[in-house]
Structure formats: C-alpha cells, structure tokens
Amino acid sequence: MNQDAEVIAIGTELLIGGRSDSNSIFLADELGKLGIAVRFKSVVGDEKQDIVTAIHTAAKRATVIIMTGGLGPTVDDCTREAVAAATGHRLGRRKEALEGMTARLAQWGRTANVAQLRQALIPSGATVLNNPVGSAPGFCLTWKKAVIVSLPGVPREMEAMMLQEVLPLLRATVASSGLPPRSPIVRQLFHTFGLAEADVDAKLRGLVPKGAPVDLGLLVSPLAVLVSLTTKGSQPARGKHRDLLPKLAEGVRSRLSEWIFAEGRDQMEEVVGRELAKRGLTIALAESCTGGLIGHRLTQVAGSSAYLDRGVVCYSNRAKTELLGVPADLIAQKGAVSKEVAAAMACGIRERAKVSVGLSVTGIAGPGGGTETKPVGLVYIGLDGGTGQPITKEFRFHGDRTVIKQRSSQAALDLLRRWLLDRERT
Amino acid sequence: MNQDAEVIAIGTELLIGGRSDSNSIFLADELGKLGIAVRFKSVVGDEKQDIVTAIHTAAKRATVIIMTGGLGPTVDDCTREAVAAATGHRLGRRKEALEGMTARLAQWGRTANVAQLRQALIPSGATVLNNPVGSAPGFCLTWKKAVIVSLPGVPREMEAMMLQEVLPLLRATVASSGLPPRSPIVRQLFHTFGLAEADVDAKLRGLVPKGAPVDLGLLVSPLAVLVSLTTKGSQPARGKHRDLLPKLAEGVRSRLSEWIFAEGRDQMEEVVGRELAKRGLTIALAESCTGGLIGHRLTQVAGSSAYLDRGVVCYSNRAKTELLGVPADLIAQKGAVSKEVAAAMACGIRERAKVSVGLSVTGIAGPGGGTETKPVGLVYIGLDGGTGQPITKEFRFHGDRTVIKQRSSQAALDLLRRWLLDRERT
C-alpha cells in the first residue's frame, strides 16, 4: 500500500494567495515522522462542488488526505457538506461534537449561536476530532482506501488537533495494518549566505551518490541559499546506505564550512543573538538604508534586550552627524554611502552607546538615488569592536528596494557572526 | 465553453511551504481582467510522474492551465519532460529558444553551459515564450481543450512573461473563439484596522443583496481585516445589478468610514507617507518594543527620506534617557511601559530631531517580562505634534512576539494617519 499524503487547503482567499502558508511545513514535518510523504497539495475555493472534485482527485493518488479550512460557522464554510457529498454520507448533528463545542464556548463565557450550531454537523460514520483551542470540531473517516481528515485552517487549532488527535490515530492505523512500520522521512536544513546558488551547487556536486535514498535540494531566498537533505521514507536505509544521512550532513558542513550560518529552523538573528549572549557582549546599531530592519530582526528574538542596547536609524545626513558624530566634512567629501562613513557610523554608535560592538549599514536601496559610480544596490557595512580598527565591507546587491534592504541586513548580521566566531579562534 | 483557470506550482520546496506565494495573487488579478477565474491551484514536487498527473487532472477541469516552476537548468527541473509526456509530444531543442537564451546570457557577459542548454528543449508544436528577464524560456501549447502555459517560478520572470507574452495570446484566443468577450472579474479591497473581524462582519451585514453577482469576503491578518468585493466574471451585470459594484463599494466606505486605512494594493506605510509628504511634514521615531519595525516599514516606501528624518530604537532605559531625554525618575516611578514614558519619548524625539511630529512605542512584546498589572501585549503609543499636548493611546494585544510587534507598529501608524486627517479637518 502506498502511503502518500495529499493536503487540500480550502478557502477562496488562499487561491488569491499573498500569505505565507505555515500549515504545509508543519504537516510535511509531522507526517514525515510517520514515513508519510506529502506528494500533492491542492488549493480550492469555498465552492462545494470544487471541494468534492478535489476530494475525488486526491483519493485516487493518496491514502492520507488532510483537509484544512472551511469548518467555520458562516455559510461560506462548506467543507462538511462537501465531504458528505463526496463520500456518500449524510450530515447529522453529533452529540460529542456539540458537547465539545459547548464546553469550549462556556470557558469563554459564551453560548453557541445558531450559526455555530452548524459546526456540530458531522458526516455519518466519521470520528469526531476534538478541538482543544477553538470552537470548530474536526472529523476523520475512511473512504475507499483513503483516510480523510478535516481540520480547521487556523494554524494554532490545526496543529493542536494534529498532535493530540490525528497523529495517534494514523499511528494506530499503521500499526493495525500489519505492514512493517515505515522509516521516517528526515529532512536536514543548512542555511548559507554569501555564495550564489550556482556556487553552492558546484561545491556540492557529486556529494550524494547515484541511487542513494537521499534527495539534495536547493532553495534560494533573499536571505539565504538553503540546502536540504531529505531521506526517502519508503526505503529504510540498509547496507551501504546505513548512516548515510549523518555522513552526507558532515559532507555538506565541510564543503560549505563558514558559509553555513545556521542549521534546521534556526534564523540568523537567533544565531548571532546566542553568540553575543554567550560572550556577554552588547551591541548597538547605526542603520541608514536598512531603516530599522536589523533592529527589528534582532528584537524578534525573546531576550534580545540582554545584548541589544539601542539602534539609530539615521536617514538624514544631519542625523548621522548629530546622533553618531560622523563629521559633516567626511560626508561631504566621501559621500554618505562610502566605506569611510560606514566606519565612522560604527565607531560613533559604539562609543556613544558604550557597548562592545557597533554595527552600521549605509547604502542605496533605490529605485532612485543611484549614480554611475554609486549605483543602486551599493552597500557598505561597518563593524567596530573597539580595537581602533573598524572593519568595512562593500556589497553590490541586485533586486528591488525590499530585496536590497533584506540582503543588506543579512550581510551585516553575517559579518557580525563571522567576527564573533573569529574572535573566539584568536 | 467554461473558461476557468488552474494554476500548477511546481517545486518540492513549495510542498513544504513556509513562504508567501506572491505568484497566485498576480495570476488571479491578471486572468481576472480577461474574465478568467482561477478555481483550482495545485502544488506538486519535482517528480515527473506527479507533474503529469497534475496536468491530466487540470485538463479535466480548466481550459487555461498556468504552470510555474521547474524550467531551470538542474536535473530537478523536469517540467519540460512532464508536459511533453503528458501531452504526447516530443522534446527538441528549439532555435528561437536557444537564441533568446544566448542573447540574454550575452548581456550578462556569459555563455550557456551544458546544463543551461537543456532550457532550450521545447515540446514539439509548442510556441516558445521569450523571457525578457532571465535565461529560461517558457512555452505554450494547446492540448485537448486546454491552453497549457509553462513559465519560470521566479516572480519577476513569471510576471514579465505573463504581461508581454501570455496575456496578449489569451486575449487573441478569446477574440478568435467567436464567443462574446467575458466581463472582467473585478475585485475591490478595503483594509481596516482597529475593529475585530466579528465587528466588521456585523457592520457589513445585509449590504450585499441576496443573489447579487458580487461576493463579499473577509480576510484577517495581524495588520488588517481585509474586506473584498468580487464580481462574478461569468455574469455580466445587467438590469438592477448594473453599477452594483460602485454602489456596494460606497456602502463599505460609509459603513466602515475611518476604520478603512487603505484601498486596493495600498499599504499603511504608503498612505501615511503620502499624507506626510502632501503636507510637507517631517517625522522622527522612538521605538522600544517594535525594535525598528516602524522605521523599516516607513523606509520600504521609495522617497521616504523626504519625510523620515531619523529613528531611535531605545531598548534599554539608559538609551531612553540618553537619546530622548526621558527622565530616569519618570521611568523609575511610572515604569518604562507607561503612557507617561510614551509621551516623553514622543516629545523627546520631536524636539531633538527638530521635526514636525514625533511618534513613539513602548510595550511588552513577550513572552517574558509581563506582570499582573502590566501583562504581555500591553503597549502605549505616543504622538507629539508640537502642540504641547502629546497624544497617548493604550492597547492590549494578543498573540506571540511577532504578532504583538506587528500590531503595535500598525497601531502607531494608524494613530499617525488619524492625526494627519484630523489635522486637515480642523
């Protein structure tokens, strides 16, 4: 029996897109632990007939179907009706669904209104899945050879129900099937910065032996080239492929060495935050073209107040002089976007804030403001660690304003990371 | 002939998700202008057989199939092979595909390597679509009753090719079909801030008459409750439904009045930026818990240097005193998270930067740092316009650190927006 999964996300607003889909990564990871691969994902609007079509299509190519969304109280929400129609079941109000929902609403001091009562309608023969976080119950039924699971689309509710209800159920189904347990699908991620995709690709060429049950993947974003190693769940690694993943992971690490700034779900701001905290160092920022983005990113990490003292966004030249003591003469002579001004900004913020390290960015984010000698995308990063010798680095980024800001912030944090690690070595 | 579209996004990394899908909104909008609705979206990994399955499924339910991704030079990229296999065509190297690619690479001072030559392989009978931005050409062919278009997944490349190549082609196909032109699907968006979804819903109840060919939708994000009005393309509005959309739009505007901060694709930072520029006002920021996010958002707008003078991220109490002149006594007495400190921060930054308006935020983003009287999510916004009477506003936000920071930045910009509009009235 093939044990592949299909995810069906329901909601007209999802067809239009424009939002990050955090449900997919969670579902792929959790199902992967059971050795179940997500091979298809369908997105369909709030139209009953379209949802029926999606269910019938999925049942032909997957044995685990996870549906998210369309379980709310409004008339738009028609997943219940669609599953009943697609599988030939009747909808009926189910006692345990109603009780769970009523209990949940009571905790909030509310009672179910007429619209919410629709949420207790469940296809006959389905198992009710309790929602410990929100009001809408889910359900699960077997049709033909597929297990169909219907969950709310709200990530917090979906995740809690997967962990508490669905995964134990799927585990039990696999166990009672008499089939040998499948090896889990394991994915290892490596985040690199500073190399082009083609260079990462070239460095990794030949790493994964032909026919090995591990996929090597590359994914490019403004902040990183991501390298993934993914085992194939259907083939338990045996013989020469035993311990293949740890060996390949070591290979990725040694080939990409210092270009790797993080592994797994780690972010650059968490990595540098940890390194700063570990060494008891404090930092202050002087941002021009990034406009506050580096401060925003560092403060995304809980506990960042332990090392981040302050930042200044010195968009005007006057602000650079008043807040950082960058000489107006220097700006006039070298230009606000220059390695000399980047160095002066880093020194200025470090001295004024009395911190261990000052980090600065000045550049041209565009689309206007570029010249022949100083084009859009020209960015200087400065770092002063109080040695009397500030470091500066020049970058020439491509892309729109958003991309140039993002890459500038990442380059600054990466320079800080490398400085922190070098400091340890010497 | 039904003229619905299906989008097939190709790439194993998309199955895993975690990234915002900006292609969908663009495709829905552009196809909508031709009266073509996107009814299904499929996501499939880089597996040839899975892509074939997706094409066959799509051809049964859509007449326009837009495929994105899988056209790159690596062996992972197998969209070309899959389309050829699914439609029974042979792949061959096409002269015009090769020439376009070679010309493009020459502009960058490069020549095609062996891997890139694969990109010139095109199914027999397909029309080559020129890529004016990147190296991979696309193609387009008719199979059974469907037009199948294959484009790169990179948004910049996909968008340029849709506008320059695909839409003119689809327009010509519709024109030559002899069918009456379809009325475009028009979507109008209204962004609100400050009302809960249920309150927006309640205010709009009964606005859209039963059976009217317009859908009302609500979409919630940390930054807004979005209201959409979407016409149904298949039914040209006639009789009592003529001019329905403008009438309904007026209804939304009058019912939600000042809660609407933007329409269409406009963002809050663009709205306040325009209002500041129009009045010739300048601004400076004093951010604590938002950590630079407001500065980052304002500087996302090109030309923001005309009104944003500077910002300070005063994470430590010492920074609040040194950079803004907030009395250490006041912080000790009222706490760093208090309306008095918010007011002092706004006044301090306005006076020191000598700008028209100072905007400040202080709050507890969590997860730590909360107390019984000052819980996580408690946020104060301050605004000083130099009248001697700074405005302060208290908020209690729910959610994780990221959500609290986002909502805080939005609340600050919304307070600024309302202040700018009130100023005009008086």
pLDDT reported for residue A88:
96
Question: In terms of domains, do B68 and B199 share one?
Answer: no
Whether B344 and B397 share a structural domain:
yes
Of A164-173, A288-297, B196-205, which has the strongest mean pLDDT?
Answer: A288-297
Q: How many whole angstroms separate alpha carbon A189 and alpha carbon A249?
A: 9
The rounded percent of chain A whose pLDDT value lies above 90 is 67
Per-residue pLDDT, averaged over B385-394, amounts to 95
Question: How many Cβ atoms are within 10 Å of B118's Cβ, its own excluded?
Answer: 21
> Is residue B182 one of the residues assigned to a domain?
no
Long-range contacts of A92-96, Cβ-Cβ distance < 8 Å, separation of 24 or more: A92/A121, A92/A122, A92/A124, A93/A117, A93/A120, A93/A121, A93/A122, A94/A120, A94/A121, A94/A122, A94/A128, A96/A128
- Let me know whether B239 and B284 are in one domain: no
Q: Which of B263, B281, B307 finishes a domain?
A: B263
Best B8, B26, B36, B41 residue to mutate vs chain A (most A CBs within 10 Å)? B41
User: Is residue A305 scored above 80 in pLDDT?
Assistant: yes
CB within 8 Å of A246: residues ≥ 6 apart: none
Tokens of B355: 């700008």
Do both A159 and A93 map to the same domain? yes
CATH of the domain at A309: 3.90.950.20
Grade residue A300 by pLDDT with cuts at 50, 70 and 90: very high
The total domain count for chain A is 3
Among candidate residues B273, B247, B253, B282, the one with its CA nearest the CA of residue B354:
B282
Specify the higher pLDDT residue, A130 or B13.
Answer: A130
For the stretch A331-364, what's the b/e string if a residue is b when 16 or more beta carbons lie within 10 angstroms of its beta carbon? beeeebbbbbbbbbbbbbbbebbebbbbbbbbbb
How high is the pLDDT of residue A156?
A: 85
Q: What is the pLDDT of residue A317?
A: 93
Q: Taking the C-alpha atoms of B24, B29, B30 and B35 in order, what is their torsion angle to the nearest 10 degrees?
A: 120
* pLDDT on residue A232: 77
Highest mean pLDDT pick, A131-145, B143-157, B224-238, B329-343: B329-343
* pLDDT for position B180: 74
In a domain, A50, yes or no: yes
In a domain, A182, yes or no: no
- What pLDDT, on a 0 to 100 scale, did the predictor assign at position A241? 67
Question: Taking all residues of chain B, what is their mean pLDDT, rounded to a whole number?
Answer: 91
d(CA A160, CA A329): 60
In this structure, the answer to whether residues B311 and B401 fall within a common structural domain is yes
Task: Please check whether residue B367 is in contact with residue B401, taking contact to mean a CB–CB distance below 8 angstroms.
Answer: yes
B302–A309 C-beta distance less than 8 A: no
Residues A16 and A161 in one domain: yes
Report the pLDDT value the prediction gives residue B236, as an integer from 0 to 100: 56
Q: What distance in Å separates the CA atoms of residue B283 and residue B385, rounded to the nearest whole number?
A: 9
Q: Say which range, A386-400, B7-21, B146-160, B307-321, has the weakest mean pLDDT.
A: B7-21
Lowest mean pLDDT across A8-22, B66-80, B210-224 = A8-22
Return the pLDDT at A1: 44
Which domain CATH number covers A64?
A: 3.40.980.10
CB contact under 8 A, A293 and B294: no
Question: Across the interface, do B50 and A40 touch by the CB < 8 Å criterion?
Answer: yes
As a whole number of angstroms, the distance between CA A19 and CA B46 comes to 23
Which residues of chain A neighbour B299 with C-beta distances below 8 Å?
289-292, 313, 315, 365, 405
Domain coverage including residue B239: 187-263
Residue B181 lies in a domain: no
Give the whole-angstrom CA distance, residue A179 versus residue A1: 9
For B140-169, the DSSP string reads EEEETTEEEEEE-SSHHHHHHHIIIIIHHH
Q: Which residues of B touch A315 (CB under 8 A)?
A: 299, 304-305, 308-311
pLDDT digits over B86-127, tens only? 999 999 999 999 999 898 888 878 888 887 888 999 999 999
Which domain-ending residue is among A224, A247, A263? A263
**Residue A313 and residue A420 share a domain:** yes
pLDDT-derived band of residue A234, with 50, 70 and 90 as boundaries?
low
Provide the sign of the torsion angle of the four alpha carbons B168, B169, B173, B174, taken in this order.
Answer: negative
3-class SS at A395? strand
Biggest alpha carbon distance in chain B?
80
Read off the pLDDT of each residue in B396-409 and give the average, rounded to a whole number: 92
pLDDT surpassing 80 at residue B84 = yes
Question: What is the structure's pLDDT at A180?
Answer: 74
Mark whether A162 and A193 lie in a shared domain.
Answer: no
Query: CA B342 to CA B314: how far, in whole Å?
Result: 12
Q: Is residue B243 part of a domain?
A: yes
**This prediction's pTM:** 0.87
Residue of chain A with shortest Cα separation from B364: A302
Question: Residue B375 — pLDDT band, cuts 50, 70, 90?
Answer: very high
Let me know: does A415 contact A193? Beta carbons within 8 Å.
no
DSSP conformation class of A20: B
Scan for tokens 């000045």, then name that residue. A362
Cα gap B404→B378, rounded to integer Å: 9
Please state, as a whole number, how many other Cβ atoms lie within 10 Å of the Cβ of residue B202: 11
Q: Are residues A29 and A55 in the same domain?
A: yes
DSSP string of A126-194, one letter each residue: PEEE--SSSS--EEEEEETTEEEEEE-SSHHHHHHHIIIIIHHHHHHHHHHTTSPPPPPP-EEEEEE-S
Other Cβ atoms less than 10 A from the Cβ of B322: the count is 18
Strands A4-10 and A64-68, by their bridges, are parallel
**Domain contains B251:** yes
Q: Which DSSP symbol is given to B133?
A: S
Give the 3-state secondary structure of residue B385. coil
pLDDT value of residue B85: 97
Average predicted confidence (pLDDT) for chain A? 91
Residues of chain B with Cβ-Cβ distance to A185 below 8 Å are none
- Across the range A230-236, mean pLDDT stands at 69
B211 against B10, higher pLDDT: B10
Based on the domain organization, do B101 and B172 belong to the same domain? yes
Q: Is A49 within 8 Å of A43 (Cβ atoms)?
A: no
Residue B240 resides in a domain: yes
Does the pLDDT value for residue B1 go beyond 50?
no
- Please report the pLDDT score of residue A108 as a whole number: 78
Got the DSSP string for B304-339?
A: GGGTEEEEEEE-SHHHHHHHH---HHHHHHH-SSSH
Q: In A, which residues are within 8 Å of B76 by CB distance?
A: 217
For residue A181, being part of any structural domain is answered with no
Domain final residue, candidates B147, B176, B205: B176
DSSP β-ladder status, A146-151 and A187-192: unpaired
**B340 and B207 in a common domain:** no
Q: What is the pLDDT of residue B426?
A: 62
Residues B247 and B332 in one domain: no
CA distances from A52 to A59, A81, A90, A350, B123 (A): 11, 9, 14, 62, 33
Q: Indicate the range of A16-30, A325-339, B245-259 predicted with least confidence.
A: A16-30
* Rounded-to-integer distance, Cα B393 and Cα B413, Å: 12
- Determine, for residues A21 and B21 on separate chains, whether the beta-carbon distance falls below 8 Å: yes
CATH of the domain at B212: 3.30.70.2860
Q: Using a CB-CB distance cutoff of 8 angstroms, which residues of chain A are in contact with residue B308?
A: 291, 313, 315
Q: Tell which residue, A210, A213, A216, A209, has the closest CA to residue A233.
A: A213
